[in-house]
Amino acid sequence: MWIRDESLRDKFPLVYRLAKEKRVKVKDCYRLQNGGRLWDWAWSRAPSTDPEKQQMTGLKDLLMEQHLTEQGDKWLWKDEDRPGFSRCNMFVWKAVEGKIPTTTHLRSRGVAIPSVVCKVFGFSDETPKHVLRTCCLADLVWTQMCSWVKIPSNVKADTLKGLLCMVNDLPWSKEKKKAMHAVFLLTAWSIWQNRNTKVFKGISGSAHKLVEDIKDCSYKWMKQ
């Protein structure tokens, strides 16, 4: 769905049936000529019945309303006045998949990394799981954050994905779960930013400072 609240396939099913390429992109069905768009559809046969012609006209009218550009697609969050949330959300999505640029991940992709040991404490290799969950600093931050949001101390999770799932499994209201999910996104993002500050500037904040900053930003998010 990228125009209104229904896919083009579902909105114009008769036209969709006639298309030779069912997964063709709209941008491949027109070319720009003399400042306008010249549509060039590939049909098994041209729309011929009145219902087919009506749907074809409706499709063209809908597409002509759109401002099409040559730029690629990008992720957007509906409340773009809060871009920080978008960054956190996308970062955590990548982190859960293990696709953030830790030293171990970069080395596995052929980047020459002299050492993959964690730069914050130096006790273990810097895997996504380590830097965001099991590193001493990260573990201390998560412990304090769980205490702040009153998650029972006997509830444990040793991965970032486990922490997010843990929130959903708690007997809380939907609204509270949503708020806690946002707090946990911010926590993971803040731990990663602290890691970057240590790697690139040689400075690492304390767990207490990180927690206080997360609380402050969380209050602002909730207020908005």
| 56 has pLDDT over 80 | yes
- Say what the pLDDT of residue 13 is: 95
Residue 153 backbone phi and psi in degrees, to 5? -65, -20
For residue 156, the tally of other CB atoms under 10 A from its CB is 13
- Please indicate, yes or no, if residue 71 is contained in any of the structural domains: no
| 74 has pLDDT over 80 | no
- Say what the pLDDT of residue 75 is: 58
For residue 26, the tally of other CB atoms under 10 A from its CB is 14
- Say what the pLDDT of residue 83 is: 54
| 29 has pLDDT over 90 | no
Mean pLDDT computed over 143-168:
90
Mean pLDDT computed over 101-124:
91
Angle ∠(186,123,208) on CA atoms, nearest 5: 40
- Say what the pLDDT of residue 78 is: 57
Helices in 97-173 by DSSP H: which ranges?
Answer: 103-108, 128-129, 136-148, 160-169
Q: Sorting pLDDT into bands at 50, 70 and 90, what band is 73? A: low
| 127 has pLDDT over 90 | yes
**222: its two tokens:** 């909730």
| 80 has pLDDT over 60 | no
| 77 has pLDDT over 60 | no
- Please indicate, yes or no, if residue 2 is contained in any of the structural domains: no
- Please indicate, yes or no, if residue 204 is contained in any of the structural domains: yes
Q: Sorting pLDDT into bands at 50, 70 and 90, what band is 37? A: confident
User: Do 126 and 42 share a structural domain?
Assistant: no
CA distance 65 to 63: 5
Mean pLDDT computed over 114-124:
90
User: Do 35 and 111 share a structural domain?
Assistant: no
User: Do 94 and 17 share a structural domain?
Assistant: no
204 Ramachandran zone, left/alpha/beta (phi>0; psi -120 to 50): beta
CA distance 20 to 26: 13
| Number of domains the chain is built from | 2
User: Do 87 and 184 share a structural domain?
Assistant: yes
| 36 has pLDDT over 80 | no
- Say what the pLDDT of residue 1 is: 75
- The three-class DSSP label of residue 113 is coil
Residue 133: CA count within 13 A, CB half-sphere: 18
| 72 has pLDDT over 80 | no
User: Do 204 and 131 share a structural domain?
Assistant: yes
- Please indicate, yes or no, if residue 203 is contained in any of the structural domains: yes
CA distances from 81 to 76, 78, 93 (A): 11, 9, 20
Range of the domain at 149: 83-223
- The three-class DSSP label of residue 19 is strand
- Please indicate, yes or no, if residue 78 is contained in any of the structural domains: no
Q: Sorting pLDDT into bands at 50, 70 and 90, what band is 54? A: very high
Percent of the chain with pLDDT over 70: 93
CA distance 116 to 104: 6
Q: Sorting pLDDT into bands at 50, 70 and 90, what band is 159? A: very high
User: Mean of the per-residue pLDDT values for the chain?
Assistant: 88
- Return the residue matching tokens 């499709």: 59
CA distance 157 to 169: 12
Task: Among 20-29, 105-114, 180-189, name the one with the lowest average pLDDT.
Answer: 20-29
**34: its two tokens:** 């003399």
Quick one: CA torsion of 149, 151, 157, 162, rounded to 10 degrees?
-60
**189: its two tokens:** 């993002």
| 153 has pLDDT over 90 | no
Residue 28 backbone phi and psi in degrees, to 5? -90, 0
